Amino acid sequence: MTAKKRTAILISGRGSNMRALIEAAGASDYPAEIVGVFSSRADAPGLQTAAEAGLPAETLAPADYPDRPAYDAAVQEILEGWRAELVCLAGYMRLLSDRFVVGWPGRIVNVHPSLLPAFKGLNVHQRVLEACVPITGATVHFVTPELDAGPPLIQAAVPVLAGDTPDTLAARVLAAEHRIYPKALEWLASGTVRLEGGRVVRDGAAGTPPAPLFWPPLEG
């Protein structure tokens, strides 16, 4: 097996998607290894999860830096110390500077609780319910300088049910995130899915179809 891709996870809170990635990376045949967890908040519960998994963890206070580029430069130094090759955002509640993003072309991904490009930004589940759409979902996408605008790597569809509240809908979408984020990292780390010239390229192993956009694949 080729060397596993060294992957860092950035969080700001509980890190439930981080936990899903850590669990997936525990498999001997998984193509990525988690080499460190960074949090923008020192009180993030996810730091305890990282400690329990025996992972290096770091945190920096944004107030200690004059601006976002300076903060991101300090984060970059931490990632370089871990020799990270890929970055997964898992509930990281800070906008990234353009310089940071362009320094990781095709190597930084994020999970968002909608079927992008629909419902970018915040308060997603409330907006979904107000729009009366029958289907929502989750997306893991490549990160680009424009917020929530990078091309999707993988998506999962989640039905909107009668009587749903933002909380009930969020719980089902989060379960979908936990399912697709490990698969997304698996594909990215193995080279099955990659970003070339701003477009997503999907390959399959010899004799197999390319990786689908939706997981599990849609029928029909």
| Residues labelled catalytic | 112
Helical segments of 26-82, H only: 46-52, 68-81
CA 49/CA 72 separation, integer angstroms: 23
State the residue for tokens 């770091």: 58
Give the strand order in the sheet containing 5-11: 57-59, 32-39, 5-11, 86-89, 108-112, 135-142, 152-159
Number of alpha carbons in the 13 Å side-chain half-sphere of residue 179: 17
